[in-house]
Each structure stands twice: as C-alpha cells, then as structure tokens.
Amino acid sequence: MTAMLSASGIIKNFPGVQALRDVSIEVRPNEVVGLIGENGAGKSTLMRVLAGSYRPDGGSLTLDGEQLRMRSPRDAARHGIGMVFQEQSLVLNLTVAENIYLGEEDRFTRFGIVNWRAMNAAARRQLAKIGIDIDVTARTSELTFAARQMVELAKALTLEEVVERQLLILLDEPTSVLNAADIEVLFARVRSLKSRASFVFVSHRLDEVLATSDRVYTMKDGAVVAEHRAADVTAPELHEIMVGRGLQAEYYREARQQAPRGTVMVEAKGLGANGAYHGVDLKIRAGEIVGIAGVVGSGREEVTRTIGGFLQHDAGEMKIAGDAVRFASPEPAVRRGIGYVPRERRLEGLVMFLSIAENISLADLSSVMRHGAIDYGKERRLAADWIKRLRIKAPGPDAACRKLSGGNQQKVVLARWMTAGSRILVLDHPTRGLDVGAKEEVYELVRDLSAQGVAILLISDTLEETIGLSHQVLVMRDGEITARFDASPGNKPNQVELLRAMV
C-alpha cells in the first residue's frame, strides 16, 4: 500500500540534545500506527514535527507524494493533520464549542460578528458523529478529564469539515489520564473512525498499543529501532526491544513482599469528608502497602488527598503514628512525615525553571545542607544518583526541568518524594506516564521503601498494579469501602473480584 504521509531522515536538535536523529516513518491510509519508546526517546518531538509545531533541522516530509513544508500547526491543519497533545490543551474558561472551533471562528463569522448558535450546532453535530453526549455550552473546566479528551479528539476531527483529503490525527499519550472504561470508549472511537482518518498514537501501555494499532514503531534515543505489524509481535518482545532486557516474570517484585510487622502509622475510623466519602476505616502499618481500587468518583482520590493534607475531613478521626490529627494544609502533613506524590505532577509537582538537582532536594533541603549552607556538590551527587537509578533522560543534574520530556519530569518528582525521608508515603498514580522500564524501577523502589518500614498508600491506574504491589486492597464505591482483600503473595485477589465490588 502506498504511504499517505512519509517522514524521512527527520533530525531535530535542541540545545545540547539531539532529540531526533534520522527518523523515518510512514503512515498509510486508514491505518492506526502505534509509537512506543522510553521516556525521552523522542516520541512527542516527532509528533510535534508531524503536526507543524516544531520545524525539523533536517529530513523531509511528503504527503500523498507531495513535498510538505509546514511553518505552524495551522499549516498542518490545512493539510488535514491534527494533534491531541500529551498535556491537555483546552482553554478551561471557554465552552466546549468555543474550544472546538478556537482559531476557526471565521467559518461562523459574518460582517465581523460570530454566530454562536451556528457554532454550537456545528459542535453538537461533530460530537454526535463520534457518538459523544456532552453539552457544548458547558464550560470546559466542568468536564471530567475523560470528557475533555473526547472534546480534544472532536476538535482534531473538525478538520474534515474544511479539508478534502483524508485526515491524519496524532494522539500523544491520550490515555494516560483515563481509566480503563474510558480508554475502551476512546479506542472504540478510534477504530470506528478508521474509515475516515489515519491515526498515530503514543502510549506506554504495550497491550493497548498492540490491540489498537495495525503497525508499531519502537523508538530509542531519538531513532526508530524497530517496526512491526501488530499481529506479528507480542508485548514482552516489544518490552525487550525498548528496555534492552526481558520483562521480568516478577514484575511487581512480589517475592520481596514481607508481612508488615510494624506499628500502625495511619489509622482512620469512620472518616468522612463533605460528601466525597464517608465511614472509611483503614489501617496502614509500617512497611505495609495498602492499595485502594475504585472508579473515578468513588472517593478514593479524596481519601488520599485527606491524608496528604489537601482536603480536610469533617467526620470521624484520623491518627498518624497514634496522634489524632486534622490537616488544614499539606504543610503539617509534611511535618508529620507524610510525603505525597501528586498525580498532576506538572502542575503540583515541579518548579519548571529550577534544575533537576534543585527540584529533587526541594522537599528536604536539610539532607543536602552542611554547616547551615547548601552543599551543592552533595545536591548534585544526590541528583546524579537518581538520574541513574530511574534512568532519567537528561544532560545532567543541572538541566532545567522544563526541558525534560513528560515522563522524565514525573520521574524527578518521584525522586524528590522518595528522597524526602517520609515515614508515610501517599502514591497517587505513581507510574502514570512512565515507560515500562522506569515502572519496574519504581516497583523495586517501592519494595525498598516498604522494607525500610515506610507505610504506603497507593492508588493507581491499573488494577494489576494495585493488586501486584499491595499487602491489602480496599475497594471503594460511591464514597464507601465496599470490600477488603488480603493480598499477601500467593493469595492475591483477581481483577474480577475487585471489579465486582467497584461497579
């Protein structure tokens, strides 16, 4: 089959980093192409080149056999190329319809006046086409993450109203903020839209990639190292190509799981907060990992936020190491030795203009102080150690965080909290956006911490991870705990049991 879009010999340099070196890929009509690779491999950079937001330093693009030169995302749009970005890219204070047609208002404008009614109607039609039921006059900030993702997809698809040729839609980690059910919905849409558009999508979930795409490219260090038909390859094989070593049978390091024997570090009795959850009883011992499973809105996020000090409880009691507490802010929680690894890492976790070293030491400066002054050598050594351990792809400890790839930024935040010497750690989706190799490192680290007696509360994107890591799994639904499972090695509950209690 002939290619619709082909990129050959693409090179992209950033100061000090060659993000893409001689990358060639092609996308055929009505095809879904998967793009995988470790954090920092250059996936987002390649997507941005294809979407016209970066200009390559070398190489060429052709579309339907014709040379393609793009200077902006607008140019790309004119050629039928649309992108959904890794970081969500909707303006939250605008309505859904306004977002879908942002930058395209001219189509609804006569004599300088925009016809909102026509725009809303068009947006409604567009959403109906992909089978989504969202109020187009709602403010985008009121939508769930999943709904926003659908709006972004709809926005990219509106190109078909103005472009004659088949569309190419680029999806950069569209699923990393979605839960399992919403991912299913998204991919069902992608499959049903295949007759009208081709897709390239980036994801760290190899199963998902294989199930959805026709072909898969694997990137490593700014180059494509493998190309497979999805039917011809398995997830473990891809894993090996990406990481350079086989998938360990013991992915979650269950053999290292030891029965907790320490004192109770976190105890909640009849805990409740403002309608978000109620009657929550839980106990976490030193060295114990407690996972909470539940769908969005089950209240599990709020429970973790209460322990982290971001949400005050208004019923029941919470004891930290035996003392009754009620946190009005995260600061007293930190003082009691609670570390919180936030989910919105880009927003809550990093000071983008500071270096990796400065970000890692931020929560616990005392660890790098000597005689009352910051010991820069020590700070950089600490950071260098983490860069090696978590395989953070960066020029060095002094690199500014804003220049790192999305997944590498997350690793920096993780490193900070794991270094802060917390006795209690709340892990809010700790592996979101991380590549498979880095995930293993995080699991290893979680086991280390547990062995050192740190009490850990975990909520995660996948049930598998929750079950694999935890000593005990709680299931929440509608703000209540509906089931408790012991999850000692050899006695792990299965996903079906959990799901039954979740929905």
Ligand X SMILES: Nc1ncnc2c1ncn2[C@@H]1O[C@H](COP(=O)(O)OP(=O)(O)OP(=O)(O)O)[C@@H](O)[C@H]1O
Q: What is the DSSP code (8-state) at residue 153? A: H
Out of other proteins, Mg ion, ligand X, none, what residue 102 binds, judged by CB under 5 to 8 A for its kind, is other proteins
312 binds other proteins (CB under 8 A): no
Q: Which helix (H) or strand (E) holds 236?
A: helix 235-243
Which structure tokens are listed for 52?
Answer: 């016209």
Q: Which residue has the tokens 């740190």?
A: 454
Residue of the chain from 5, 7, 10, 19 that contacts ligand X (CB under 6 A): 19
Question: Would you count residue 362 as binding other proteins (CB under 8 A)?
Answer: no
Q: Does 291 bind ligand X (CB under 6 A)?
A: no
- Please tell me the count of residues contacting other proteins according to CB under 8 A: 43
Is the CB of residue 202 less than 8 Å from the CB of residue 47? yes
Name the burial class of residue 89, with classes exposed (0-12), middle (13-18) and buried (19+) by CB atoms within 10 angstroms of its CB.
middle
DSSP string, 31-82: -EEEEEESTTSSHHHHHHHHTTSS--SEEEEEETTEEE--SSHHHHHHTTEE
Measured from the CB of residue 93, what is the shortest distance to other proteins in angstroms?
Answer: 4
Residue 362: closest CA among 334, 390, 389? 334
Positions in 82-111 near ligand X (CB under 6 A)? 86
Report how far residue 108's alpha carbon sits from residue 106's, in angstroms, rounded to the nearest whole number: 5
Residues at the contact surface with Mg ion, assessed by CB under 5 A: 44, 86, 405-406
C-alpha dihedral over 371, 373, 374, 375, to 10 degrees?
A: -40
Give the HSE-up count for residue 285: Cα atoms under 13 Å, Cβ half-sphere: 12
Q: Does 175 bind ligand X (CB under 6 A)?
A: no
Quick one: what does residue 103 bind among ligand X, other proteins, Mg ion, none, with the CB cut-off 5 to 8 Å set by partner type? Answer: other proteins
- Minimum distance from CB of 143 to other proteins (Å)? 5
Give the three-class secondary structure for 108.
helix
Separation CA 280–CA 338 (nearest Å): 19
Residues between 429 and 488 with contacts to ligand X, criterion CB under 6 A: 435
Among 27, 41, 49, 150, binds other proteins (CB under 8 A): 150
Judged by beta carbon distances under 5 to 8 A according to partner kind, the member of other proteins, ligand X, Mg ion, none in contact with residue 89 is other proteins
Count CB-CB contacts under 10 A for residue 352: 13
- Least distance to other proteins, CB of residue 144, Å: 6
Give the β-pairing of 197-202 and 167-172.
parallel
Q: How far is the CB of 418 from ligand X (least distance, A)?
A: 19
Radius of gyration of the chain (CA): 24
What does 185 interact with, of other proteins, Mg ion, ligand X, none (CB < 5 to 8 A by kind)?
other proteins
Q: Which range of residues in 13-21, 67-75, 444-452, 483-491 is near ligand X by CB under 6 A?
A: 13-21
Residue 422 interacting partner from ligand X, Mg ion, other proteins, none (CB closer than 5 to 8 Å by kind): none
CA distance 199 to 83: 10
Q: Which does 376 bind (CB under 5 to 8 A by kind): ligand X, Mg ion, other proteins, none?
A: none
- Taking residues 382 to 421 in sequence order and writing x for each that binds other proteins by CB under 8 A, - otherwise, the string is ----------------------------------------
Residues 285, 289, 293, 298, CA torsion sign: positive
Binding mask 34-73 for ligand X (x = CB under 6 A): ---x-xxxxxxx----------------------------
Contact flag: residue 377 with other proteins (CB under 8 A): no
Q: Which stretch binds other proteins (CB under 8 A): 4-12, 146-154, 194-202, 408-416?
A: 146-154
Among 8, 109, 234, 452, which residue sits at the site for other proteins (rule: CB under 8 A)? Answer: 109
Binding segment for ligand X among 162-170, 267-275, 355-363, 400-408 (CB under 6 A)? 400-408
Q: Minimum distance from CB of 74 to other proteins (Å)?
A: 4
Spatial separation of the C-alpha atoms in residues 219 and 239, rounded to whole Å: 12
Q: Does 133 interact with other proteins (rule: CB under 8 A)?
A: yes
Q: Minimum Å distance from CB 113 to other proteins?
A: 5
Partnered with residue 282 across adjacent β-strands are 268
Is residue 403 a contact residue for ligand X (CB under 6 A)? yes
Q: Cα separation of 224 and 380, whole Å?
A: 32
CB 84 within 8 A of CB 130: no
User: First CA to last CA across the chain, in angstroms?
Assistant: 44
Q: How many residues does the chain have?
A: 503
397 contacts ligand X (rule: CB under 6 A): no
Is there binding between residue 158 and other proteins (CB under 8 A)?
Answer: no
- Does residue number 190 form part of the binding site for other proteins (CB under 8 A)? no
Binding partner at 17 among Mg ion, other proteins, ligand X, none, C-beta below 5 to 8 Å by kind: ligand X
How many residues sit close enough to ligand X to count as binding (CB under 6 A)?
20
Closest distance to Mg ion from the beta carbon of 43 (Å): 5
Residue 470 to residue 479: CA distance in whole angstroms: 21
Nearest to 293 by CA among 466, 488, 175, 169: 466
- Residue 80, both tokens: 């039928």
Q: DSSP code of 492?
A: P
Binding positions for other proteins, rule: CB under 8 A: 53, 72-74, 77, 85, 89-95, 98-99, 102-106, 109, 112-114, 116, 120, 132-135, 137-139, 142-144, 146-147, 150, 181-182, 185, 347
Binding positions for ligand X, rule: CB under 6 A: 14, 17, 19, 37, 39-45, 86, 393, 403-408, 435
